[in-house]
Amino acid sequence: MPKHKSLKRFLILRYKYISQKNYVYVLCIIVGLMVGLASVALKNITFAIQQALQHGIIFSENQLYFILPFIGLLLVYLFRKYFVRNELVPSVPPFLKRAIPSLLYSLLRQKGLLSYKLIYHPLILAPLTVGFGGSVGLLGPAITSGSALSSNLSRLLHVDRKTRTLLIACATAGAMASMFKSPIAGIVFAIEVFSLDLTFVSLLPLLIASICSILTSYFFLGDEVLFNFVVSDNFTISDTPFYIILGIGTGIASLYFTKIYFAIYAFFDRFKTRFVKLLVGGLAIGIMLYFIPPLYGEGLSFTRDLFSGNYLNALGSNPFDKYLDNIWVVIVLLLGFTVFKVVAMTTTFAAGGVGGVIVPTMVMGSALGNVIAKILNNVGLGFQVSEANFTLVGMAGLIAGVIHAPLTAIFLIAEITGGYALFLPLMITVAISYMITKNYMEHTIYTRELAERGDLLTHDRDKNVLTLMRLESVIEKNFISLHPKMTFGEMLHEGVSKSTRNLFPVTNADNEFLGIILLDDIRELLFDQKLYDTTFVEDYLHNPPNIIIFEEDTMQTVMDKFQSSGAWNLPVLKDGTYYGFVSKSKLLTAYRRQLINFNK
């Protein structure tokens, strides 16, 4: 129970007069309001920095904007060095210290308990990154801050792990609803990303939090949508092949996006210090901005210009201005933006910046959709498609492919633009893009590292239960080891007579595993005294049906090995030496216990 008397009194009254269901609803309202306020604060701080840089200093007047992202990254580096003494999530591996992956890991391995510092650090670091022109978005930091608020609120009020997970999902839904004014997309995003069961029990709290969060956003920021988009060219059945082409294009681009994302991180991992990463990343971003100015910042103004057909303003002033009367030069430049947007985004992250992935993905998708439309309209085959519609639908196609969240992509783009008239082409493009990327890449930039470690929750309940289990907890070590040169008599005296098990591992002097002997293998020979001094352990040992490798095998793999081998016990090797056994009976008992806890 809490130490503070007022809080203790509140919790006692709550248990007496408020049901668990209604209590959760009240918490969802609080979470929604807090996340809405955090998102509004994040937007306003970032906007204030951007306005100060654009109108209050000399950089923008002299076209020296391309050095601003480096300054922002330097400020982030200095803040971390002098104000963040400890890592925010110390037990999470470095490659998981990104918004969504770290949350997924925390929910699985840390019971959703997040540091209180994660509440305000994103509100400082993300505006410094994005406000100074870092090519990333704000949704990730908003989710991190909101989730930390939910986690610490649940810890303060002593709620259970399952409710804490639900509240963090509510914070995620509320963050997206507030940032983009898209309540339905927020709910769907939380369900798709956090693998929640789509039931009334989880849906209503998500809906409550999403509504409260978006109302907070409307109260402080008004009712303006992210993009003012009006469908002027309605979809016709003859447009279907072109949206199929767009779906294929966004699917291929999604594969490129994911591969480049991890390749750039792998490149920066070669540098041992954050400062070196900052210098290399800052220089790379500056060079990209000099040749492709629209890469500066989130890129939302770039997409707005494409919607209005003002591609010259979208491209900005660049070294190729005198060639922009040629539409193919424009197409090449827009394609260059598409190619380098993910490079600029990931470089910003790898150099130490803080931000999100969704907005850069949207902006990149808008450029790709516009490029495909321009190619179709100018290739000389008499085709004519709506560039604005393709710009819109391209955003959804890339989001679906990159984060494997097709429903989120459809509802997000439809809500932030009011483009519900294009629901059918959105569905066509999104479905094709998702199928292509899902076929070639099982996991996303959010989940790949988690899946490789066996730390990923999915919509498969059986796999989730196995993922929550730890191999160490089912390993039994009360087996007597035998040595290959022991005589049969020594084996009976020192092994069989003293053991409560019917299985014996055979190891050498270095504890290397050589094989096993089953009591059934020698049962008929137990009373044949002629064999006691003339035969040895090595004469009776044999290989087990399979072997479990402690460092490599997940619980799913262990279960599969028992399934395929039909064995009741399998040996475990750790660091190349014998470590113990896993029995099928103990494994199934632990599985049943975990399943009961999971469903509570």
- DSSP state letters, 463-476: HHHHHHS-GGGGEE
- Do 122 and 24 lie in one domain? The reply is yes
Amino acid 221: pLDDT: 81
Q: Which residue has the tokens 């990343």?
A: 281
Q: Residue by residue, what is the 3-state secondary structure of 377-412?
A: HHCCCCCCCCHHHHHHHHHHHHHHHHHCCHHHHHHH
Tell which of 459, 480, 508 closes a domain: 459
- Do 289 and 435 lie in one domain? The reply is yes
Is residue 98 within 8 Å of residue 140, measured between CB atoms?
yes
Residue from 188, 173, 177 nearest 214 by CA: 177
Q: Identify the residue with better confidence: 440 or 380.
A: 440
- Do 447 and 533 lie in one domain? The reply is no
**What is the spatial distance between Cα 252 and Cα 255, in angstroms, rounded to a whole number?**
5
- Do 32 and 165 lie in one domain? The reply is yes
Least-confidence region, from 24-33, 269-278, 399-408, 411-420: 411-420
User: How many separate domains does the chain show?
Assistant: 3
Domain of residue 581, CATH code = 3.10.580.10
User: Across-strand partners of 356?
Assistant: 137
580: helix, strand or coil: strand
Residue from 360, 364, 354, 342 nearest 278 by CA: 354
Amino acid 44: pLDDT: 92
pLDDT, mean of residues 311-327: 80
List pLDDT tens digits, range 83-110. 875 544 444 455 455 677 777 777 767 7
Amino acid 198: pLDDT: 52
For the cut 70, the answer to whether the pLDDT of residue 59 exceeds it is: no
Is residue 583 within 8 Å of residue 561, measured between CB atoms?
no
Is residue 355 within 8 Å of residue 136, measured between CB atoms?
yes
List the domain range (segments joined by +) for residue 519: 463-598
- Do 285 and 408 lie in one domain? The reply is yes
Those residues with Cβ within 8 angstroms of residue 491's Cβ, 6 or more apart along the chain or in another chain: 482, 504, 517, 537
Residue 275 lies in a domain: yes
Amino acid 312: pLDDT: 83
Residue 336 lies in a domain: yes
pLDDT, mean of residues 497-501: 83
pLDDT, mean of residues 494-508: 86
Q: Identify the residue with better confidence: 246 or 223.
A: 246
- Do 506 and 451 lie in one domain? The reply is no
Residue 227 lies in a domain: no
- Do 276 and 346 lie in one domain? The reply is yes
List pLDDT tens digits, range 127-171. 999 989 888 989 989 999 999 999 888 888 878 878 888 888 899
- Do 440 and 467 lie in one domain? The reply is no
Residue 308 lies in a domain: yes
Amino acid 563: pLDDT: 86
For the cut 80, the answer to whether the pLDDT of residue 535 exceeds it is: yes
Alpha helices in 135-199 (DSSP H): 139-156, 161-180, 183-194
Residue 230 lies in a domain: no
Tell which of 459, 480, 504 closes a domain: 459
Those residues with Cβ within 8 angstroms of residue 540's Cβ, 6 or more apart along the chain or in another chain: 488, 517, 521, 522
Say what percent of the chain tops pLDDT 90: 31
Q: Identify the residue with better confidence: 1 or 262.
A: 262
**Which conformational region is residue 178 in: left (phi greater than 0), alpha (psi within -120 to 50 degrees), or beta?**
alpha
For the cut 80, the answer to whether the pLDDT of residue 62 exceeds it is: no
Residue 186 lies in a domain: yes
Q: Which residue has the tokens 């985004």?
A: 345
The two three-digit tokens of residue 80, written as one number: 């971390």
Residue type, 15: Y
Supply angle C-alpha 207, 210, 213, rounded to 5: 150
- Do 265 and 197 lie in one domain? The reply is no
Residue 232 lies in a domain: no
Q: Which residue has the tokens 């190349």?
A: 576
Is residue 159 within 8 Å of residue 25, measured between CB atoms?
no
Tell which of 221, 255, 270 closes a domain: 221
- Do 289 and 350 lie in one domain? The reply is yes
Cβ-count burial 210-223 (b if 16+ within 10 Å, e if not): bbbbbbbbeeebee
Residue 226 lies in a domain: no
- The model's confidence at residue 323, banded by pLDDT at 50, 70 and 90, is confident
Amino acid 58: pLDDT: 42
Domain of residue 103, CATH code = 1.10.3080.10
What end-to-end distance do the CA atoms of the chain give, in Å?
21
- Do 272 and 143 lie in one domain? The reply is no
Cβ-based neighbour number of residue 477 at 10 Å: 9
- Do 430 and 505 lie in one domain? The reply is no
pLDDT, mean of residues 408-430: 85
**What is the spatial distance between Cα 471 and Cα 29, in angstroms, rounded to a whole number?**
39
